[in-house]
Amino acid sequence: MALTPQQCAFFESFGYVFFPNLLTEEIDWMTEEHRKIFKKKGVKHDGTKRSVIVPFSDQSERLCTLLDHPKVLEVLKSLLGDDFNYVGGDGNYYSGDTGWHSDGAHRVGLYAKFHLYLDPLTRDTGCIRVIPGSHLFGQWRDGVEKVRRSDETVGLSASDVPCIPVETSPGDVVVFNHNIYHASFGGGAARRHFCLNVTARAETEAEIKELDRYLRPGGRQHQWPGKYPPGAQDLMRKTASPERMRHLEQVIERENYYAGLLNEA
Ligand SMILES: O=C(O)CCC(=O)C(=O)O
């Protein structure tokens, strides 16, 4: 069943939307796959800082099937369109606070993150906090940008900045627009998380340019140097159903286009 028009309107206006229990039935195996990927990649989390693996779901055949999952598709198609793109995503053990920031500043296109937190999280134990509406450009967002240095600019410690704390239990899902300001405070030393980054299909020239900026080496998707080896998406692609392929094909097309240009050069 598609989302209600109200849920879609909430996402458009406030930049995020919360789905309690969306993947509760799947939480045990997803948590196990998260553990296995960190083990397979030899990444030992010691709690002193964030440990990240990217791309993440692409490393596990079972997590790849999230892109075939009727409940995931229902949410993403309703919010981004039937032919949305999957553009990767990271898996994490977060440690401690994450300061206020946005994951992008896309003035064209629609970029979103489908979050799964694998531990129960409250306002003061590291749940994701968002500033509703801060995904929209204009005077409001220009003001909100000050929260990056809130002590100095608005006289508030970062954890006191007005926001919505989205408290989650394992199996809940939060989707937010990449442009939204978000943070978390009071989290423990091993907060488990992974996400799917998605975009609306790029149609216009400006949207395609923006997608290329996101996908290119050095772009947002490759913000962790050396962590996106060639072939990292092979499993996701080789095991794709026709439905999943629909959500991979524009990225493949853009990669091929650029590979062609490089060859010509
Ligand atoms: O949960 C957190 O501490 C931060 C999450 C975040 O910044 C993100 O996923 O973009």
Domain boundaries, the chain: 5-264
Q: Report how far ligand 1's centroid is from the alpha carbon of 13 (Å).
A: 21
DSSP-assigned letters across all residues of 42-53: T----SSS-EEE
CA 155 from chain centre, in angstroms, equals: 30
Question: Which residues pair with residue 168 across a beta bridge?
Answer: 121
d(CA 251, CA 238): 15
Q: What's the burial of 237, exposed, middle or buried (CB within 10 Å: 0-12/13-18/19+)?
A: middle
What is the best residue among 95, 134, 180, 184 to mutate for testing ligand 1's pocket, by most ligand atoms within 8 Å of CB?
184
d(CA 182, CA 176): 9
| pTM of structure | 0.95
Which atom of ligand 1 is closest in space to residue 97's alpha carbon? 3
Containing H/E element for 193?
strand 191-199
The tens-digit pLDDT sequence of the chain (265 residues) is: 789 999 999 999 999 999 999 999 999 999 999 999 999 999 999 999 999 999 999 999 999 999 999 999 999 999 999 999 999 999 999 999 999 999 999 999 999 999 999 999 999 999 999 999 999 999 999 999 999 999 999 999 999 999 999 999 999 999 999 999 999 999 999 999 999 999 999 999 999 999 999 988 766 665 555 566 777 889 999 999 999 999 999 999 998 888 777 778 7
Q: Whose CA is nearest to atom 10 of ligand 1?
A: 103
Structure tokens at 84: 């949305």
d(CA 70, CA 80): 15
d(CA 161, CA 225): 32
- Pocket lined around ligand 1, Cβ cut-off 6 Å: 94, 98, 103, 128, 182, 184, 193, 195
d(CA 136, CA 208): 20
d(CA 15, CA 103): 12
The pLDDT assigned to 258 comes to 82
Structure tokens at 129: 């906090």
Which atom of ligand 1 is closest in space to residue 90's alpha carbon? 9
3-state secondary structure of 205: helix
Q: Using the structure block, give the residue that is written with the tokens 């995503």.
A: 89
Q: What is the DSSP letter of 147?
A: G
Q: Report how far ligand 1's centroid is from the alpha carbon of 113 (Å).
A: 10
Question: Which residues pair with residue 183 across a beta bridge?
Answer: 129
CATH of domain 5-264: 2.60.120.620
Q: Using the structure block, give the residue that is written with the tokens 């409001």.
A: 140
The pLDDT assigned to 226 comes to 58
d(CA 158, CA 29): 35
Residue 8 contacts by C-beta under 8 Å, 6 or more apart in sequence?
Answer: 78, 79
Do 59 and 237 contact (CB within 8 A), yes or no? no
The packing angle between helices 5-14 and 70-80, to 10°, is 60
3-state secondary structure of 241: coil
